[in-house]
A and B are shown apart, each in its own frame.
Chain A
């Protein structure tokens, strides 16, 4: 199995550091960055003022009084009390609650990413129990579709992809396990504090649990440039990515500015950046963690160990044979060697330590001594022996036993991490002091943490980070996640910049509500499902998306949440809805990703469409997430770039989307499938009945009389065109085989295609 740092096994290269005594910052031009220098200057840390420390987001939440409102009849739960309180103070009023049909469509999409089936709509409309809606919500949250929809939400934030990005964009064949872990964890309502703990430090906290290791995939999701040849720079870029992602994802802090200088706006010093980075300083990718049946793992591990031992013996024999000749070849180059290399060379070959052997090997590379030169120096007898042994080794390597299933993730190199150094102006080549691990100084006095021993070979620093982040008085963790859920359910966060709670982010529109929700999350054992339940059963969630005239005039951005926000379906929801209404959605869960065919002219690395066509119709979250080539259908509907954590999807409305829905094979095939399904479901039914079925499938309601009239008129036109086609000798369908049922199917397919293109299909009230 190829490791992420294949060329060097672990973090590539120890930086070659040039120590310079005197150093003057101004003497280094910005562009002369290609040599690594150790910079001997002391970085002063700023002292935070009381005002800086008292930024609302840095002060732990305080449990607020739930307000008493005049219109208490509108209060379904505490959320409504907070929302109505502000609305009453502004002498505003809310829109009325939406009707049941609108509500089931809205909440089914929000909780499962799919439309309700016609039967579900009918059943809900017929359910007159007072808690019918609450029962619906429970049912929806218990479906696998819930995990898939909310898994996708987290995968955006986790910048999940199954390839490296950059030029090579190499595939990460086992990355899907992290996707499944996220879906399963959310489905099982894993408490959020544990959900975070496993992703940051599953390897430390549950060292023998393969699932916990898979969870560390969060930090394995970094984009990776394998071809980066600057020594040590890859480690730096990856750690930077991990810091930026984790700070934004878990704390809503944009720390990247502090990579180069103290943050211009937020109280984050440059030193804070690197001390936070040092928490992750021990991390390396591990791409061969065995998973699956424990007995099989044991067998595989024994076989692999035996193989490795055999190879090691053969390699050592080769090295032993070569060693005396290294001395001969290297001797003339003594003048160019470091003292360490000289010392290694002067040690008799049978007494050299492994490190010394490595030193000499590296020196040969640096001094451009080729294997051929070593071979040439050998006696003929030794050369023959060498050749035979080398051939034997090559043959042995070909007998590598097949590996069992493995997972990819992150773990530490050992108890001690490679140092993290502060970089002057963020320039990797200007390395200043080593910074020990610690938390952000404005939030914690722990500028240096002393991790408790974990009992195994990791640093323990990430476990300390988890402890800090998930302690009940952390001011950010709970607020940030409840705000993210709120954003998904209400169209905008209480803090409208969900990954920026700093001074440049938006302030909360309802700070007491945010605190209430954050503390309630903790009180309810960090249950995300409890939070979803609270939000979607509130009266505020159920409001109509149609604003009152005064709201349009005076609160255009709906800061008061006096009405719901109409949602353009996310890319996956558009595609999954098409499949759901055509009746062809393949509900299979989990497992390796699928590759539906790509349109002609689009190519992606190693992308071969699955032979099994039903795999093409799995939910979109299971489509292979190639970093450099986004799946075209999803891309056109604003699938985010997986190079960065995406806190909020952009929603665009454009002509290529229209072309995708009008002309793509996918849209056309599914329109035809939908027509087939509708016809098969209603043998001998009237046109009117079938039109109603189409509307129910696609938009969860029956058509209004005026719409029925238009639809019937369109159908008549399409039927005429299809019949005429049967009579002519042109067109793609062979007229000889074209019969009345073909014509009928064509007409209904055209009508279904129209309905799949309607605004109402992709916009949910």
Chain B
């Protein structure tokens, strides 16, 4: 009757071949055939309802297997880190020339005077990439990274821009990048979540929606790993209702569930739930080990800055991120300064002087460590905030939000190393050459994972929705 239309509920009710497989037992349930999807949606990921996170192929051969997104939340200043602007010295204390036209910023600094950076910039590595003295360790890995100095986004405030960097839209309610990746590719380690989020402080602006699934099934959402104790909510079976082991309870649950399944084999959700209990049990065993750093050498810990009070927290997160991608986790997001801490309205020197040392060694250590382990080729590392900061001063020493032009970098995963791409104007206000919108970043990340952002769709109220909404372009110029 409606062969070309698919409701967005993902669990169809029929498995023609299910009878043949039922009774295969607890482990057997994980072995599964693919769901027959509507032919009109042949491009959509083939989701096995018994194992919705099972690894699956993308649209073409991938360059990267995993992504680690290092999110500097609050808006790091490109002008003081990666994008030196000598012209600002000349214009110091003067407003932008009239030719720039009026500039709207949230705190209304459009006509404020320009504030040159106090940082010392130098060229580094064979590539001669510019990095300031706030990121000396990152400066050591410039030949492994591709710097994009021409990013721009749509939102002038944190919540919208953080939301856009995560979901493509400044308005809440859409699935996050990590959720799209989990939906498209599943995970390579079924004992761990496919999408893990870590924060060094409180929740990022906008909260858990930043790793949510919007209207997609919750299965694909990010799992926040906590900083202390058990990494997943209720992963620890410490408390019990009585005195028996969880294993004996699970055996009882499974045995009774299998009896209940008889005569209901057509409903795959029931078997999926039995499998979910099995996964929960395995995760209890594997997830704590995956984030346990006690087996790492002192040298490695030091590489990530664990021996420095300032960088210990973020260093632990980056080291855990490496351990997770090593174990097949698909998408890891590590927030630095979560809760808008990079937001240097009042005093750029004070704020970034504090924030940069927290992430410098961990970020550089991660890239070095991935490289020496041969993991950088298959891991795409992305660094950036939700926007940059203005060249105009705010309250004399601070800088306001700048969505018109800012820097991000990528490393590994088939991205051209040592390249500096795109430019902002002479003030560092607006991206002018090789402009890269958030949708382009997203399209490129998906592309490196073997996914075409225009073909990775999810049906929603009559529209095949995609991460990049109506835009997005793979930044071909930066691909190796």
Q: Hey, which bits of chain A sit against chain B, CB under 8 A?
A: 31, 33-35, 165-167, 169, 223, 225, 227-230, 254, 265, 492, 496-497, 499-500, 502-507, 509, 546-547, 552-553, 556-559, 565-566, 568, 599-603, 628-630, 632, 635-636, 638, 641, 643-644, 648, 650-660, 662-665, 668, 671-672, 675, 704, 706-707, 710-711, 714, 717-718, 721-722, 724-725, 731-732, 743, 745-754, 757-760, 762-763
Query: Secondary structure of the B side of the interface?
Result: loop
A717 to chain B, nearest CB (A): 6
Q: In this assembly, does B295 line the interface, its C-beta being within 8 Å of a C-beta of chain A?
A: no
B92 close to A (CB within 8 Å)? no
A and B contact pairs by CB, cutoff 8 A, 15 listed: A167-B206, A223-B172, A225-B160, A499-B461, A500-B461, A505-B461, A556-B14, A559-B2, A628-B203, A655-B276, A718-B242, A722-B243, A732-B239, A747-B242, A760-B257
Interface residues of B in 194-241 (CB under 8 A from A): 202-203, 205-209, 212, 214-219, 223, 226, 228-229, 232-241
- Does B241 lie within 8 Å of A656, measured CB to CB? no
Name the residue on B nearest A748 (C-beta). B242
Given contacts A644-B173, A651-B269, A707-B259, contact A167 B159 (CB under 8 A): yes
Residues of B within 8 A of A502 (CB): 462
Known: A169-B207, A229-B106. A655 touches B283 (CB 8 A): yes
Residues of chain B lying within 8 A (CB to CB) of residue A752 = 241
**B252-A714 in contact (CB<8A):** yes
CB of B257, distance to nearest CB on chain A (Å): 5
- Most-contacted residue by chain B among A492, A663, A732 (CB, 10 A): A663
**Which residues of B lie under 8 Å from residue A750 when comparing CB positions?**
240-244, 249
Question: Which 6 A-B residue pairings sit nearest by Cβ, starting from the closest?
Answer: A504-B462, A556-B14, A746-B242, A34-B104, A658-B280, A750-B242
Smallest CB-CB separation from B18: which chain A residue?
A552
Asked if B118 is at the interface (CB within 8 A of a chain A CB), the reply is: no
Q: How far apart are B113's CB and chain A's nearest CB, in angstroms?
A: 14
Contacts of B219 in A (CB 8 A): 652-654
User: When the two chains form their complex, are residues B279 and A655 in contact, meaning their CB atoms are under 8 A apart?
Assistant: yes
Please, how many angstroms separate the alpha-carbon atoms of A748 and B243 in the complex?
10
Given contacts A599-B234, A628-B208, A714-B248, A638 and B218 within 8 Å (CB-CB): yes
Tell me if B235 and A229 are in contact (CB < 8 A): no
Q: Which residues from chain A contact B9 at a C-beta distance below 8 Å? A: 648, 650-651
CA distance A732 to B237 in the complex (A): 13
Q: B273 at the A/B interface (Cβ < 8 Å)? A: yes
Q: How far is the CA of A92 from the CA of B268 in the complex (A)?
A: 23
Contact status B206-A759, CB under 8 Å: no
Chain B residues engaging chain A, CB cutoff 8 angstroms: 1-2, 5, 7-14, 16, 52, 102-104, 106-108, 152, 154, 156-160, 171-173, 202-203, 205-209, 212, 214-219, 223, 226, 228-229, 232-246, 248-250, 252-253, 255-257, 259-261, 263-264, 266-267, 269-270, 272-274, 276-277, 279-281, 283-284, 340, 404, 437, 461-463
A598 to chain B, nearest CB (A): 10
Contact partner of B277 (CB less than 8 A), chosen from A229, A566, A629, A658, is A658
Contact: B14 with A35, CB < 8 Å?
no
Main secondary structure of the interface of A (DSSP, over half): loop
Contacts of A710 in B (CB 8 A): 252, 255-256, 259
Cα A504 to Cα B171 in complex, Å, equals 23
Instruction: Report the bound CA distance from A762 to B206 in whole Å.
Output: 31
In the assembled complex, how far is the CB of residue B292 from the closest CB belonging to chain A, in whole angstroms?
18
Asked, given contacts A704-B259, A750-B249, whether A228 binds B157 with beta carbons under 8 Å apart, the answer is yes
A329 vs chain B, min Cβ distance (A)? 20
Return A164 CB to nearest CB of chain B, in Å.
11
- Chain A residue at minimal CB-CB distance from B274: A759
CB distance from B40 to the nearest CB of A (A): 13
Is B462 within 8 A of A165, CB to CB? no
**Which of A506, A599, A603 lies at the interface centre, i.e. has the most chain B CB atoms within 10 A of its CB?**
A506
B437 to chain A, nearest CB (A): 8
What 6 additional pairs, Cβ within 8 angstroms, besides A504-B461, A552-B266, A652-B219? Answer: A227-B157, A557-B14, A650-B8, A650-B9, A752-B241, A753-B241
Which residue from A504, A628, A672, A724 sits with its C-beta under 8 Å from B206? A628
- B239 — nearest CB in chain A belongs to which residue? A668
Query: Which residues of chain B are within 8 angstroms of A503 by Cβ–Cβ distance?
Result: 462
How far is A654 from B283 in the complex, measured between Cα atoms in Å? 12
Q: Are B16 and A553 in contact (CB under 8 A)?
A: yes
A492 and B7 contacting across the interface, CB-CB below 8 Å: yes
Q: Which residues of chain A are near B226, meaning CB under 8 Å? A: 601
Task: Say how far A743's CB is from chain B's closest CB, in angstroms.
Answer: 8
Instruction: Chain B residues near A762: list those with CB within 8 A.
Output: 273
What's the nearest-Cβ distance from chain A to residue B289, in Å? 16
Assess whether A663 is in contact with B236, with CB atoms less than 8 Å apart.
yes
Residue of B nearest to A248 (CB): B461
Q: Which residue of B lies closest to A744 (CB)?
A: B242
Distance in angstroms from A81 CB to nearest chain B CB is: 20
**Interface-centre pick from A166, A500, A706 (highest chain B CB count, 10 A):** A166
Q: Are B2 and A602 in contact (CB under 8 A)?
A: no
Q: Chain B residues near A265 (CB, 8 Å)?
A: 462
Known: A629-B208, A641-B172. A566 touches B2 (CB 8 A): no
Give the residues in chain B near A759, CB-CB below 8 Å: 257, 260-261, 270, 273-274
In angstroms, Cα B240 to Cα A749, docked, is: 9
Q: Is the CB of B232 within 8 A of A656?
A: yes
Residue from B217, B256, B340 in contact with A758 in the complex, judged by beta carbons closer than 8 Å:
B256
Minimum C-beta distance from B282 to chain A (A): 8
Taking the nearest CB of chain A, how far is it from the CB of B228, in angstroms?
Answer: 8
A759 to B259, CA, bound (A): 10
